[in-house]
A = this chain, B = another copy of it.
């Protein structure tokens, strides 16, 4: 497949672009190798897997890319990494990386999840399949390759970089605030015009979905059983005893039932919507622009569903997607979970849940409202374990980070849509909220899928010039740094 390097006005702004592009191409084997080695080393906080080794590899990746210093920042959990690259430029950009990945079950994969093999992907080209391919190691490696290529061309970067990386993104960034709170890290970030996370943002037609923020996420578990009350047995007992002994699974059902309305999705926690801001006219307009029938068909197919909630039209479902806070059940586990039945009364029942929060809700508010809601209804035997979380983030459409993206896409002929926010979550609030109050965004081209699912993939070679493969994605990061430098300079004039 031929490479389709971006050309156009944006490219013209990048000095020595052809030379840099040649370097990127020459780097390809090393870049792929670094990505494959990284995928072979999965850091999974939930499984206490590769915390130290993952942080160390992240640190070495930064130094290898050209950061002048990179250090491991210890936390009460998995360590973070902090690195800086001072180019003597007037503009500093913050970069956020996650080096951890979601859990996986190799039995569910058609290609070994840690081998990161290159496999054909239908008519789209060639994809790398592995855990972390798109979420988030692939885009991050492409960004590092961009820095490397600029430096290898003999030039300084047009901006200074401050990189902060964490290994607990997939458990809701439990200790990431500790990394950013280190004075040296905080002060370095405070000098930036904002922070972005590299992201493979293109859909099958090559359009990039820009976002102006993201929902917050809070993960928690509700637990009932012998460990929370002596009404329940300490170990599973014969089920005939339910005639005289309470069943913690019923208690869990009763508690859960109060959390959403009869429709099965509208949150019913007391005061839940108190601080939920309705969509603005601009946000509604952005959503309407995104609501295309062909995208709907593609999404329904990918998600394996026939209907949105309430069988609503796509536009309405997208308004829900971007504007509604949720209370989701991730999993249920109690008693016997094998094939068929087993006559036991369980000693323990657990529900795994998660909130998605929208502005101006906060993490602490959500947790406090949940606890108050349960206690008010007498569920003092239901233990609430909050395993991690953070609030939503929001970035202005006229911030340098965002105007630079729009300009780059327009000049390079890359179609884009702007969505009011990402319905998923990333801990941008750590930058976006006090004390830093920085713009925080996602940025990147390229295409992938299967985040959190089996057979996660990232397109490496694209058969469609509109959809960027690995090298074009890398060059777009190169171009972006120059556009940001130029846009920031304009503001200073």
CB within 8 Å of B: which residues of A?
46-47, 102-103, 170-172, 215, 217, 219-221, 226, 230-247, 249-254, 256-257, 260, 262, 264-265, 303-309, 317-318, 320-322, 324, 326, 328-347, 349, 352-354, 356, 387-388, 422-425, 451-453
Contacts and interface: CB of A to CB of B under 8 A. Distances in A.
Contacts of A322: 243
Contact of A243 (B305, B320, B338): B320
Nearest to A46: B340
4 smallest CB-CB distances across A and B, nearest first, come from A230-B306, A234-B304, A331-B336, A331-B335
A330 B423 contact: no
A334 B333 CA distance: 7
Contact of A303 (B245, B257, B260, B356): B245
B332 A239 contact: no
Contact of A304 (B215, B237, B425, B453): B237
A356 B342 CA distance: 13
26 contacts: A102-B343, A103-B342, A215-B240, A219-B341, A219-B343, A221-B340, A226-B304, A233-B303, A235-B304, A237-B303, A238-B451, A238-B453, A249-B331, A250-B256, A253-B329, A254-B262, A329-B349, A330-B336, A331-B336, A331-B337, A331-B341, A332-B334, A333-B333, A335-B352, A336-B352, A342-B352
Contacts of A422: 240
Contacts of A387: 340-341
A330 B335 contact: yes
Given A245-B305, A251-B264, A342 B317 contact: no
Given A324-B243, A330-B343, A307 B265 contact: no
Contacts of A425: 240
Q: Most B CB atoms within 10 A — which of A232, A262, A452?
A: A452
A341 B352 contact: yes
Contacts of A217: 343
A156 B318 CA distance: 83
Number of copies: 2
Nearest to A423: B240
Contacts of A337: 331-333, 337, 352
Nearest to A347: B304
Contacts of A256: 250, 253
Given A240-B326, A253-B329, A337-B337, 11 more contacts: A102-B343, A171-B340, A230-B307, A233-B304, A247-B265, A247-B329, A253-B253, A253-B256, A329-B334, A331-B342, A343-B354
A388 B235 CA distance: 25
A242 B328 contact: yes
B171 A305 contact: no
Contacts of A245: 303, 305, 308-309
Nearest to A425: B240
B46 A339 contact: yes
Contact of A328 (B47, B235, B247): B247
A423 B337 CA distance: 24
A93 to B, nearest CB: 27
Nearest to A312: B244
Contacts of A329: 247, 249-250, 253, 334-335, 346, 349
B253 A423 contact: no
B254 A264 contact: yes
Given A226-B304, A257-B257, A243 B326 contact: yes
Contacts of A235: 304, 453
B340 A238 contact: no
A224 B304 CA distance: 15
Nearest to A377: B262
A330 B336 CA distance: 6
Contacts of A239: 326, 328, 330, 354, 356
Contact of A264 (B250, B262, B424): B250
A335 B333 CA distance: 9
B236 A453 contact: yes
A366 to B, nearest CB: 15
